[in-house]
Structure 1
Amino acid sequence: MKLISWNVNGLRAVLKKDFMTIFNELDADWFCLQETKMQAGQVELDLPGYHQYFNYAERKGYSGTAIFTKHEPLNVTYGMGVPEHDTEGRIITLEYPNFYLMTVYTPNSGGELKRLDYRQQWDKDFLAYTNQLAAKKPLVYCGDLNVAHQEIDLKNDKTNHHNAGFTDEERADFTKQLDSGFIDTFRNLYPDTVTYSWWSYRFHARANNAGWRIDYFVSSRDFKPYIQDAKILTDIMGSDHCPVELVTKDLI
């Protein structure tokens, strides 16, 4: 089975950049989006065979997530149940008989790290939420986590140290997540592979492959037997991020 995660940097924008062709060619069982930047009713998608779930931010044109799936879930949850975090449309969780699947768009710490304190509170509460789910059944979550975990995960680690997405605090919080019983599926399979999933629009970063790996599939350790492969689809354009993919044994 195939799971895709993609920060599209605006669903309405990417629909003008061949999104439907990419969507149909990838033919995923689950297609998870982040940063949809839209409100209810702004887009009507014709996706035969797919169930569609959206979580919208209260602020217009900001954040937002979506999941399109061929497999109807038992239950759908929006947010993590913490009012402080649940106004920005950042989480959708689908429950199935054997596992949970979540799309998540983690808050960015922002310029001059103005939102780092909030981000660390998010990380703490998100860890509690994922541990709560993983205690019940295997969990896999995907999305733009806005952190490059290790030096191998970005081109210019020295010059970006202490910048949003590569602060010691954010990296340590992601380490705590993994240490609590989760795995970074791509890095688990490919410990030495250098590849990125996001490139700045400035300085010809994508052409020069000066990127960051900040888009992930993370799973609880008991989900690991399902995993067959993890990929980063760097050839797919349309956003400043590229899609990431997880290939699994049958989950349904």
Structure 2
Amino acid sequence: MKCISWNVNGLRAVVKKNFMEVFNELDADFFCLQETKLQEGQIDLELPGYHQYWNYAEKKGYSGTAIFAKEEALSVRYGMGIEEHDQEGRLITLEYPNFFMITSYTPNSQNELKRLDYRMTWEDAFRAYLNELSKEKPVILCGDLNVAHQNIDLKNWKTNQKNAGFTPEERGKFTELLDSGFIDTYRYFYPDQEGVYSWWSYRFNARKNNAGWRIDYFVVSDGLKEALTSAKIHTEITGSDHCPVEVDLTIA
């Protein structure tokens, strides 16, 4: 089972570039998007063989997530059932017989960390939500989680320790998530790999210089460890300031 996650930073823009080419070439069972930046009716994607699930932000041109799945879900949840967290289209949960598939676009703490307090509230609520689901069946979570967890997850870690995405608070919440029974799949396969990132600023020739951050993830329940077969970061794919990330599993 191949699963892809991609923060497209505006789906309409990427569709005008290479989206369909990438989508068809990767041929995923699940293709999950973050930061779609559109409202219902603003795009009409023809994706034969896929069921489409969309969650739109109330604010126009902002946030938003989608999942395209070859198999129809048993049930769908948009958000986590908490009004404070469910207005920005950040979360979709699909239920299947043997697992939950979730895509998340985690709130950014923003410049001067002005949204860090909200981010902490989100993290605690989201971790509780995931842990409740995992009592029922294993969870596959993907998305732009807006945190580089370890020093090796970004190029310039020494100068970014007080910046959004690499604060002790954000990193600590990701550690709490993993400690509660989850696996960072890329680090499971490549625990010491350096220099492989999933996001690069549009400024300062960051992508050309590979001055990036690994902030896009597949995180799975510990119970799926034996099902994991590979994890990839598709740094060769352009079209957004993020590149797609992938995990492959064998699930009966």
Category of TM-score, reference length = shorter chain: over 0.9
User: C-alpha offsets along residues 50-88 of structure 1, whole Å, 9 cap, x if unaligned?
Assistant: 000000000000000000010111001000111000000
| TM-score normalised by length of structure 2 | 0.99
- Deviation of 1:250 after TM superposition, in Å, equals 3.6
Q: Which residues in structure 2 correspond to 1:86-125 (within 5 Å)?
A: 86-125=86-125
Q: Per the alignment, in what secondary structure is the counterpart of residue 83 of structure 2?
A: coil
Aligned-partner Cα distance in 1 for 2:248–2:172: 28
CA deviations on 1:107-153 (whole Å, 9 max, x unpaired) are 00000000000000000000000000011100010000000000000
- Cα deviation, residue 91, structure 1: 0.3
Determine the structure 1 residue equivalent to 2:7: 7
Structure 2 CA distance for aligned equivalents of residues 218 and 172 of structure 1: 16
SS at match of 2:22: helix
Q: Does 1:133 align with 2:133?
A: yes
Give the letter for the 1:144 counterpart: D
Q: Which runs of 4+ in 1 moved over 2 A?
A: none
**What's 2:211 paired with?**
210
SS of corresponding position for 2:63:
coil
Map 1:77-226; keep pairs closer than 5 Å: 77-194=77-194, 195-226=196-227
Distance of 1:250 and 1:110 partners within structure 2 = 38
> 2:212 & 2:176 partners in 1: Cα distance?
24
Supply the distance in 2 between the matched residues of 1:242 and 1:16 (Cα, whole angstroms): 16
Matched residue type, 1:204? N
Q: Deviations over 1:137-191 (max 9, x none)?
A: 0001000000000000000000111100000000000000000000101001100
- Amino acid aligned to 1:246: V
Instruction: Say if 2:58 is the partner of 1:58.
Output: yes
Question: Hey, what's the Cα distance between the residues in 2 that align with 1:97 and 1:183?
Answer: 21
TM-score w.r.t. the length of structure 1 is 0.99
Listed as ranges, the gaps of 5+ residues in structure 2 are none
CA distance in 2, matches of 1:249, 1:100: 15
Whole-Å separation in 2 of the counterparts to 1:82 and 1:162: 29
Which amino acid is the alignment partner of residue 198 of structure 2? Answer: S
What is the DSSP-based 3-state SS (H/G/I as helix, E as strand, rest coil) of the residue aligned with 1:159? coil
CA distance in 1, matches of 2:166, 2:251: 35
What secondary structure sits across from 1:67 in the alignment? Answer: strand
The alignment yields a C-alpha RMSD, in angstroms, of 0.6
Q: Which residue of 1 aligns with 2:45?
A: 45
Q: Deviations over 1:182-208 (max 9, x none)?
A: 010100110011210000000000000
Instruction: Tell me the percent identity.
Output: 69
Q: Secondary structure at the match of 1:160?
A: coil
Q: Whole-Å Cα distance in 1 between the matches of residues 57 and 169 of structure 2?
A: 26
1:21, 1:146 → 2: CA distance?
A: 26
Tell me how many residue pairs correspond in the alignment: 251
Q: Secondary structure at the match of 2:121?
A: helix
**CA distance, structure 2, for counterparts of residue 71 and residue 162 of structure 1:** 42
Q: Which residue of 2 aligns with 1:231?
A: 232
